[in-house]
Chain A
Amino acid sequence: AQTVTQSQPEMSVQEAETVTLSCTYDTSESNYYLFWYKQPPSRQMILVIRQEAYKQQNATENRFSVNFQKAAKSFSLKISDSQLGDTAMYFCAFMKHPTGGYNKLIFGAGTRLAVHP
């Protein structure tokens, strides 16, 4: 069974600084997707960034980038130039190639990030 581990329950960072959130996962699959979702205090969960395991290049979305280490089964999220609006709960999630016709997401426990002025 696949598992996703986020070892940092809480983190804090100063505005404009850079922070890295860690995620490790366990799977025997060779192809899969990894995601970072953000849940701000308003609770609306939104996708931050997505990475397909077969793509070696790390995904980037503006200030958000990942460090995907397939052999180490590690998928960290780097937030550059942190902004107050980045304060949120961040969830790492894994999706294996569907065999039953559906796309099931497996989530980590989450990391609560606080950005301070």
Chain B
Amino acid sequence: DVKVTQSSRYLVKRTGEKVFLECVQDMDHENMFWYRQDPGLGLRLIYFSYDVKMKEKGDIPEGYSVSREKKERFSLILESASTNQTSMYLCASSSATGWGTEAFFGQGTRLTVV
């Protein structure tokens, strides 16, 4: 059974804290993504990675950074958490062979910044 696992389902952090969201996939996928999900806005792409140590900005990268040191792990970093980063964060992975391939998602991390 294919799996994308996010380290936490719920997280509460204080304003100004450095926050790490971890994601691990076991499908040997090249592509990994971080999305942010907000009501009425759908999913918006923050960052993605198509290879180890490679990353590209998505549509809303401000205030975030990412790290991919190993193929199976993709971390999202909030350098200094702010209340407007309170949201649901979804990690996904997909194969780079061909296109139109299915993206597999983690169960999401609901982050609250107080």
Residue in A44, A47, A102, A107 whose CB lies within 8 Å of B31: A102
Contacts of A9 in B (CB 8 A): 40
Tell whether B52 is near chain A: CB-to-CB under 8 Å: no
Per the bound structure, the CA–CA distance linking A4 and B96 in Å amounts to: 23
Given known A50-B102, A95-B100, contact A102–B108 (CB-CB < 8 A): no
Complex: how many Å from CA A97 to CA B33?
17
Distance in Å from the Cβ of B56 to the closest Cβ of chain A? 7
Specify the chain A residue showing the minimal Cβ separation from B41: A109
A91 touches B43 (CB 8 A): yes
**B75 beta carbon closer than 8 Å to chain A:** no
- The answer to whether B107 and A105 have CB atoms under 8 Å apart is no
The answer on a CB contact under 8 Å between B100 and A103 is: yes
Known contacts A102-B50, A102-B96, A108-B42; A43/B102 CB under 8 A: no
Among the listed A6, A103, A109, which residue makes an inter-chain contact with B99, where contact means beta carbons less than 8 Å apart? A103
Interface residue? B48 (CB, 8 A): yes
Task: Please report the total number of B residues contacting A with Cβ < 8 Å.
Answer: 27
In the complex, which range does the number of interface residues on chain A fall in? 20 to 34
- Describe A's contact surface by its main secondary structure: loop
Do the beta carbons of A97 and B41 come within 8 Å of each other?
no
User: Quick check: is A98 within 8 A (CB to CB) of the other chain?
Assistant: yes
Instruction: Let me know if A104 and B45 touch, CB within 8 A.
Output: yes
Q: Are A103 and B45 in contact (CB under 8 A)?
A: no
The contact string, 1 if C-beta is below 8 Å from chain B, for chain A 1-30, is 000101001000000000000000000000
Closest to A51 in B: B100
The residue that A107 contacts in the complex, of B43, B56, B88, B108, with Cβ under 8 A, is B43
Among all A-B residue pairs, the 6 with the closest Cβ atoms? A45-B105, A33-B100, A107-B42, A107-B43, A43-B108, A109-B42
Residues of B within 8 A of A (CB): 31, 33, 35, 40-45, 48, 50, 56, 58, 88, 90, 92, 94, 96, 99-103, 105-108
